[in-house]
Amino acid sequence: MIDYYSTQSSMTCPGPWAHLIEHLPNDLERLTKIVRCLIRHFADARLNGETLATERLAEMDLRCVKKMLTQIVSLSSFPLSIARSDIDKLTGCCRDFSVLVCSILRHHKIPARIRFGFSTIHIPGFHHDQTLLEYWHAKEKRWCLVDARADEKFIQRHQLKNFSTIDVPRNLFMSAAQAWRHCRRGDIPPQRIGSFLAGRMSGLWFIRNKLIQDIAALNKMEMLQWDCWGVMLENAQDSLVVPEQQVLWLDGVAETLLQSHDTLSEVQDLYRDSRIAVPQLITTYSVALGKQTIDLYS
């Protein structure tokens, strides 16, 4: 498993821009600061009262690091390690910060992977959709959670104490499988887990989608947060009902993932199911461009 997550995926491969990240640090504190100088979260722009043009919002649809770096370079000729103005930063979300850091760590042969789940930080009483990074801490022999987007302003805004952005406390992040289990056991109402990204969305259908995306990411298919395929399309986003037969199947999927997320063969076995594996054609619900069918290999 350590070897597996030390190599690039089709999503994290920097392609012709590998030379740009060659000399970036692998120290997480320094690296996340650099990435925050390259990407600006679209919500931060809104907090500043800015209205982003459609073409800038569409930068969040760049799945591959290769395309992300192409746009970053086109926005500014500065080296990646040099701070740039907000207008020269790539527009992104938490997934984009995490995926870029993941790419750089893998370039340095440091095991890293993307996790889809929910944060207890952003909105009181609500578990909000969040995509974080895990990296393997070789000395401590454990996976550490990293919130590459969070800076001092974020920490102050949410009044976080003793909060490390490069070792996020596990009680502040709930994996999609954990969220599914909590809802099914009645610990947390499904309507308290979801997203305010484009209006409030919550419920078992949303948690199901994050569960499928998390399994895909563990198999190094790090998709966008609004990408859908397979079982995720069996009921549309405007429906809150997940068929009972599907719910029972997902109970088993979630429990398997919770028990075996550090066993590569089990994670790969889950992904062999055609209802979970990412196909060539997917449906995406872009924040900028709306619903689209995408050919991942075109």
pLDDT of residue 199: 65
pLDDT of residue 200: 80
Q: What is the pLDDT along the chain (298 residues), one digit of tens a residue?
A: 999 999 999 999 999 999 999 999 999 999 999 999 999 999 888 777 888 899 999 999 999 999 999 999 999 999 999 999 999 999 999 999 999 999 999 999 999 999 999 998 878 889 999 999 999 999 999 999 999 999 888 888 888 888 899 999 999 999 999 999 999 999 999 999 999 876 688 999 999 999 999 999 999 999 999 999 999 998 744 456 888 899 999 999 999 999 987 899 999 999 999 999 999 999 999 989 999 999 999 8
Q: Which two tokens stand for residue 99?
A: 């995926």
pTM score of the predicted model: 0.95
The total number of residues shown for the chain amounts to 298
Closest CA to 291 of 223, 228, 205: 228
Whether the Cβ atoms of residue 222 and residue 12 lie closer than 8 Å to each other: yes
pLDDT of residue 60: 96
- Beta strands 290-295; 281-286: pairing state: antiparallel
Other CB atoms within 10 A of residue 71 CB: 15
Q: How many CA atoms lie within 13 A of 200 on its CB side?
A: 9
Whether the Cβ atoms of residue 106 and residue 51 lie closer than 8 Å to each other: no
| 15 Cβ contact partners less than 8 Å away, ≥ 6 residues apart | 64, 65, 66, 69
- Beta strands 201-202; 227-228: pairing state: unpaired
Q: Is residue 291 within a helix (H) or strand (E), and if so which, with residue range?
A: strand 290-295
Q: How many CA atoms lie within 13 A of 261 on its CB side?
A: 22
Q: Which residue's structure tokens are 């997480």?
A: 28
Kindly compute the dihedral angle of the four CA atoms of residues 148, 153, 157, 158, in this order, to the nearest 10 degrees. 30
